[in-house]
C-alpha cells in the first residue's frame, strides 16, 4: 500500500516537473520571438534614421541665404546622427529605449517639415524677387536706351537729388493682437498685425500729404489681403498692396502706426514673414519678422 502511494507521488512529481520544463521552454521561445521581432524593428528604425540623415545632407548642400536657418539645420542634423549612433548601440531587447527613439524620430521629422517649409518659402521669395529684378532691369535698360542723348552729368545729378528726396523708414516693430485688440503671441489667436514704424528726418523731401503703401508677405510667398482693385504705381507698373495710409510729413522724423486686419478665413502660419513699405513710387523700407506657434 505504501509502495503504491509512493508511485503515485512519483507520478505527480514527474507531471509537475514536466509541466515546469514545458512552461520554461514556452517562455524561452516566446522571449526569443520577442527579441527577434524587436531586432527587426530596430533595423527598420535604423534605416529610417539613415534616410533622414541623407535628407538633411541634401538640404545642407542647398544655398540657403539664411544663417539662422542654416544653423538650425546643422544642429538637427547632428541630433539625428547622435540618435542614430545611440540606436546602433542599444540592444534589441531594450524595447523601452527603442520605443523612445522611435518617438524622437517622429519629433525630428516634424521639425524637419517645418524647416523644409521655411526653405521653400525662402526659395519662393527669392524666385519672385529674381523675376521682379529681371523685369526692373529690362525696364531700366529700355529707359537708358530711350535717353542715350542725355548728358551723363545731368543723369547723375538727377539720381542724386531723387535719392536725397526719398523717404526712408529706419525701424519697424510688430505687435500681434487678438480679436479684442489685446496682445497675443499665439498664432492661432492673431487677428491683427500692428506695425509701429519711424520715418527718418529728411529736409530735402517736399512736405505735405503722402500716400504710404505696405505689402505683407507670408512664409509661402503670398501677399496678405491681395485684391484686384488694390493697386499702386511702382517701377513703371502697378502692383497690389496689403494696406495703405495717408500721412502728413513735415520733414521731421515721423512716428506712425498701421494695422493689417486679417480676414475671418485667413489662417496665420508660423514662420518668416516680411513687410515692404512704399511711398511716391519708391521702396522706402523692408523688414522681416517671425511668427511662432
pTM: 0.46
The candidate with the shortest Cα–Cα distance to 167, out of 94, 245, 88, 75, is 245
With a cut of 90, say whether residue 88 has pLDDT above it. Answer: no
Torsion of CA 72, 73, 78, 83, to 10 degrees: 100
Q: What is the mean pLDDT of residues 114-136?
A: 71
Q: How far apart are CA 169 and CA 156, in angstroms?
A: 24
C-alpha cell at 171: 525701424
224 compared with 97, residue with greater pLDDT: 224
pLDDT reading at 280 higher than 80: yes
Report, as an integer, the average pLDDT of 234-242.
90
Least confident of 119-123, 140-144, 185-189, 279-283: 119-123
CA–CA separation, 53 vs 200, rounded Å?
A: 48
pLDDT at 153 over 70: no
Residue ranges per structural domain of the chain: 2-120, 167-291
- Can you give the three-state secondary structure of 40-78, one letter per residue? HHHHHHHHHHHHHHHHHHHHHCCCCCCHHHHHHHHHHHH
Give CA–CA dist 221/50, Å, rounded.
32
pLDDT exceeds cutoff 70 at 12: yes
Tell me if the domain spanning 167-291 has CATH number 2.10.60.10. no
Mean pLDDT value of segment 222-247: 89
CA-to-CA distance for 111 and 105, rounded, in angstroms? 10
Amino acid at each position: 500500500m505504501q509502495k503504491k502511494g509512493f508511485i503515485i507521488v512519483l507520478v505527480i512529481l514527474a507531471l509537475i516537473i514536466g509541466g515546469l520544463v514545458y512552461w520554461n521552454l514556452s517562455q524561452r521561445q516566446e522571449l526569443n520571438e520577442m527579441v527577434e521581432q524587436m531586432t527587426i524593428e530596430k533595423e527598420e528604425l535604423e534605416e529610417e534614421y539613415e534616410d533622414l540623415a541623407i535628407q538633411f545632407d541634401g538640404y545642407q548642400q542647398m544655398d540657403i541665404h539664411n544663417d539662422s536657418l542654416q544653423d538650425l539645420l546643422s544642429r538637427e542634423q547632428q541630433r539625428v546622427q547622435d540618435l542614430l549612433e545611440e540606436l546602433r548601440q542599444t540592444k534589441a531587447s531594450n524595447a523601452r529605449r527603442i520605443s523612445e527613439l522611435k518617438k524622437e524620430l517622429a519629433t525630428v521629422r516634424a521639425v524637419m517639415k517645418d524647416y523644409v517649409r521655411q526653405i521653400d518659402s525662402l526659395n519662393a521669395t527669392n524666385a519672385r524677387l529674381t523675376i521682379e529684378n529681371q523685369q526692373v532691369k529690362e525696364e531700366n535698360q529700355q529707359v537708358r536706351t530711350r535717353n542715350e542723348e542725355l548728358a551723363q552729368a545731368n543723369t547723375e545729378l538727377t539720381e542724386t537729388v531723387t535719392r536725397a528726396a526719398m523717404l526712408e523708414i529706419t525701424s519697424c516693430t510688430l505687435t500681434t493682437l487678438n480679436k479684442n485688440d489685446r496682445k497675443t503671441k499665439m498664432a492661432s489667436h492673431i487677428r491683427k498685425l500692428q506695425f509701429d514704424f519711424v520715418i527718418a528726418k529728411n529736409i530735402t523731401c517736399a512736405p505735405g500729404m503722402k500716400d504710404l503703401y505696405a505689402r505683407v508677405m507670408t512664409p509661402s510667398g503670398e501677399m496678405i489681403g491681395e485684391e484686384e482693385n488694390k493697386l499702386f504705381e511702382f517701377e513703371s507698373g502697378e502692383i497690389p498692396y496689403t494696406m495703405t495710409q495717408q500721412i502728413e510729413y513735415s520733414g521731421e522724423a515721423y512716428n506712425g502706426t498701421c494695422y493689417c486686419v486679417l480676414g475671418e478665413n485667413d489662417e496665420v502660419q508660423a514662420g518668416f514673414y516680411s513687410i515692404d513699405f512704399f511711398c511716391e513710387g519708391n521702396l522706402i523700407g523692408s523688414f522681416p519678422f517671425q511668427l511662432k506657434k
